Amino acid sequence: MKRSIAVVLGAAATAISLVLTGCGSGSDSSDSSSGPVTLTLAGWSLSTTPEFKTLADGFHAAHPDVTVQLKEYDATNYDTQMIADLAAGKAPDIYVQKNLKNFYTYQHGKQLLDVSDVAKQLGDSVGGLSDYQVDGKTYAIPYRQDTWVLFYNKDLFTKAGVPDPDGSWTWDDYVNASKQLTAKLKSAGSKALGDYEHTWQSTVQGFALAQTPGASLQSGNFSYLKPYYSRALDLQKSGAQVSLGDATTNSLTYQAEFGKQQAAMMLMGTWYIATLLSQQASGDADQFQWGMAPAPQFDKSTTGTSATPVSFGDPTGLGINPKISKNKVAVAKQFLAYAAGTDGAKALAGIGITPANTSAVTGTFFALKGMPTDDLSKFAFATHNTKPENPVSKYTAGLQNILNDLHTSVMSANKPVDAAITDAQQRAKNEVLNK
Amino acid sequence: MTSMPVARRRRGRLVWRNTLVGWSFLLPNFVGFAVLTLVPVVLLFYYAFTDWDVFGGAQWSGLANYRQLLHDHSFWTALENTLYYTVAHIPLTLAASLALALLLNRKLRGVAFFRTVAFFPYITSIVALAQVWNMLFSPGYGPINEILRWVGISHPPGWTTSSDWSMPAVIIVGTWREMGYYMLLFLAGLQTIPGHLYEAARVDGANAWQRFRAVTLPGLRPTTFFVTVMLTIGSFKVFDLILVMTNGGPGQSTLVLSQFIYQKGFVENQFGYASAVSIVLFLICLVVTVVQFAVNRRRSS
């Protein structure tokens, strides 16, 4: 009796699995016939972030039989939600690498398809590609690459009678200019300060890591941060920039600080261009002349418009979910190539987004209404050696958390720089690098 | 003779039916609880002994997470800060809410209005009130320091921007936010104390303080016990207030256990390790509550 039940159950299971696989293969074969294909693409805050729709529509125009459907995620919880969806097998075919910090988690967790062939086809005009390479294989394709530059308010510079940045600045020049601006603006009856430094750790640490020769996050040696923090503290103490404490307790936004002319200079990523343009058009920001200059440099060797200034910024990339059905892989790769290529870059530049391929779009970009037209702004936008803020490794997230604690305790003057660095190195060794 | 088994069968059926009815009333809530809370909690006990980064299977790692915990300086800092918050927050909130309840238990004109006012912080969005308090605490421009300077304190504290004062600042806001809720519980407790006890005490010549000690406090014992247990658990798992007010900073001065768990789990994707810390937090809460129950039982007997 018992055995016969087992046999029946076994037979039923086999039958069911046969039926299932039969269905599976059947649908596969019907899909692969060159009918219309629908790709799904992840995005966030779709109503205020038009880049995903721009890419989807642009690709559909070039490939009418392919529809790209957007799946919306929450901007701040994007990675948490995406990780949950991937683990549940419900993630879209193509998903965005919002920052480099979590790329390791996705790649190490085998949630990204190898797209080396797309990378090879794109060549090296695309910035940030190498950040997505692990053991010689590429796992995501960057479609935008923001770089940190110096935004400055030309009207306030004129008012203070301080000469505009000319691309030759080291950090000491920047500090001097900021102090001068503060003093002269004050005597000219303006309340604006020399510069605004936002509350993020990257405003200090990003530059220190990218520009200091030999600096490395994973080395666990953070002495490269010291000169950058000494200067930031100097600016804060002299009153040329709002202190971190005042910025956090009053929830200052960098958009208002620069857009409402509270500060003459601000270091910020190029994503701010689109915001500033739209806020000036809508009236959320004041009307004033502004420009961009390369970020101040570590030393004179990378200053001047004949050199390539060093800055930092993480690329934003597209990766393919390995659970995508096989017949869609080729189309998905085409989409990646389109987004990172010249056509995608132009479409993105048209809405004020900095694509990964900046040199191809400088013309389009500076034709936008409200953009500055001087040569230095164009140079700052198009020419830079941009290093990653979060070099890819299994330690990055943990180390950045430790360095964020260092940032808040140093900038709020609770700990001297040296002690904070020693402390952070100790923690890095005991809590992160020992894993 | 024959009626006995019939009666038993009938009673058996009745018990069976009552059980079914009971379960069917419980079911809607229990299904939600089981799926959303019970299963994850049980799984947590498994994940706490594994190395798991969400993708792929969790790898059994035995006690490795706990060994790491012993040497994790940040964990001990978080534990210390959590104890600091708890030890200061519980008596403060207890005293403030009891005082408020006594004050608002009288026949006062507009007492309903004042009760509402005291309860208001509890129902206000925590993000909004954290932002407003941060502005009040702002060292340079905030009204609190303006007042302190006006009173004659030339170097007022830096509050949320100072590693020595950030925890007191958070405790003040935490107490202010929660005292209204516990006041309500105390108010309910005060209604249950019979009025004739006060009359008797008055006849015996007890003054207000003696009446408070001899009648009010013993009468409130069940309420006080409940409030203390709730406060203890709430203080040990404090999270949202600190996350939005200081985000654990400056440095690690307000890093608490819940935030440490959040950071390890959802920021650094070490879900196994984060689960292990959760277990520790759970055990602390459990032990403290069990001790409180034991003390309460001994006192009441």
What ipTM was estimated for this complex? 0.82
- Strands A315-320 and A94-97 come out as antiparallel
Tens of pLDDT, residues A79-120: 889 998 998 889 999 999 998 888 988 998 899 999 999 988
Report the alpha-carbon distance of residue A156 to residue A163 in Å, rounded.
11
Indicate the Cα dihedral angle A376, A380, A383, A387, nearest 10°.
Answer: 160
Angle between helices A171-187 and A226-237 (to 10 degrees): 10
Report the mean per-residue pLDDT for chain A.
Answer: 87
The pLDDT, as a whole number, for residue A9 is 44
Residue A408 has its nearest CB partner, among B74, B138, B250, at B250
Please indicate whether, in this complex, the C-beta atoms of A109 and B253 are within 8 angstroms of each other: no
Banded pLDDT at A7 (limits 50, 70, 90):
very low
Q: Which amino acid is residue B150, in one-letter code?
A: W
Q: What is this structure's pTM?
A: 0.84
* Number of CB pairs, chain A paired with chain B, less than 8 A apart: 98
- Strands A37-44 and A66-73 come out as parallel
Strands (E), A118-178: 133-134, 137-138, 141-145, 148-153
The pLDDT, as a whole number, for residue B3 is 55
For residue B250, cis peptide bond before it (omega within 30 degrees of 0): yes
Calculate mean pLDDT across residues B8-19: 85
Please indicate whether, in this complex, the C-beta atoms of A109 and B56 are within 8 angstroms of each other: yes
Quick check: A250 contacting B, CB < 8 Å? yes
The pLDDT, as a whole number, for residue B79 is 94
Structure-token pair, residue A24: 């599976």
Calculate mean pLDDT across residues B124-146: 89
Please indicate whether, in this complex, the C-beta atoms of B158 and A412 are within 8 angstroms of each other: yes
The DSSP call for residue B263 is I
**Statement: residue B7 has pLDDT above 90:** no
Residues A249-283: b if buried by 16+ CB within 10 A, e if exposed: bbebebbebbbebbbbbbbbbbbbbbbbbebbeee
Most A CBs within 10 A among B71, B77, B269, hence the mutation to make, goes to B269
The pLDDT, as a whole number, for residue A16 is 43
Q: Minimal CA–CA distance to A236: which of A180, A197, A205, A183?
A: A197
In chain A, the percentage of residues whose pLDDT exceeds 90 is 60
Banded pLDDT at B184 (limits 50, 70, 90):
very high
Quick check: B209 contacting A, CB < 8 Å? no
**Statement: residue B9 has pLDDT above 80:** no
Report the alpha-carbon distance of residue B140 to residue B129 in Å, rounded.
19
Residue A401 has its nearest CB partner, among B139, B158, B268, at B268
In chain A, the percentage of residues whose pLDDT exceeds 70 is 92
Banded pLDDT at A128 (limits 50, 70, 90):
confident
Structure-token pair, residue B143: 């009204």
Tens of pLDDT, residues A10-56: 444 444 444 444 343 333 333 444 578 999 999 988 887 888 999 99
Report the alpha-carbon distance of residue A41 to residue A60 in Å, rounded.
13
Calculate mean pLDDT across residues A413-426: 93
Tens of pLDDT, residues B195-240: 899 889 989 888 889 999 889 998 999 899 999 999 999 999 899 9
Report the alpha-carbon distance of residue B6 to residue A377 in Å, rounded.
97
Alpha helices for A123-243 (secondary structure H): 154-160, 171-187, 202-211, 226-237
HSE value, Cβ hemisphere, 13 Å, CA-based, for A212: 19
The pLDDT, as a whole number, for residue B108 is 80
Please indicate whether, in this complex, the C-beta atoms of B54 and A83 are within 8 angstroms of each other: yes
Quick check: A48 contacting B, CB < 8 Å? no
Banded pLDDT at B5 (limits 50, 70, 90):
low
The pLDDT, as a whole number, for residue A362 is 83
Quick check: A245 contacting B, CB < 8 Å? yes
Banded pLDDT at A166 (limits 50, 70, 90):
very high
Quick check: A246 contacting B, CB < 8 Å? yes
- Three-class DSSP category at B56: coil
Q: Which amino acid is residue A210, in one-letter code?
A: A
Quick check: B23 contacting A, CB < 8 Å? no
Who contacts A64 (Cβ-Cβ below 8 Å, separation ≥6)?
none
Report the mean per-residue pLDDT for chain B.
Answer: 89
Please indicate whether, in this complex, the C-beta atoms of B73 and A105 are within 8 angstroms of each other: no
Cβ pair A379, A294 in contact under 8 A: yes
Distance (Å) from the C-alpha of residue B151 to the closest C-alpha of chain A? 22
HSE value, Cβ hemisphere, 13 Å, CA-based, for A360: 22
Residue B54 has its nearest CB partner, among A87, A244, A248, at A87
The pLDDT, as a whole number, for residue A225 is 96
Quick check: A299 contacting B, CB < 8 Å? no
Tens of pLDDT, residues A286-312: 999 999 999 999 998 999 888 899 999
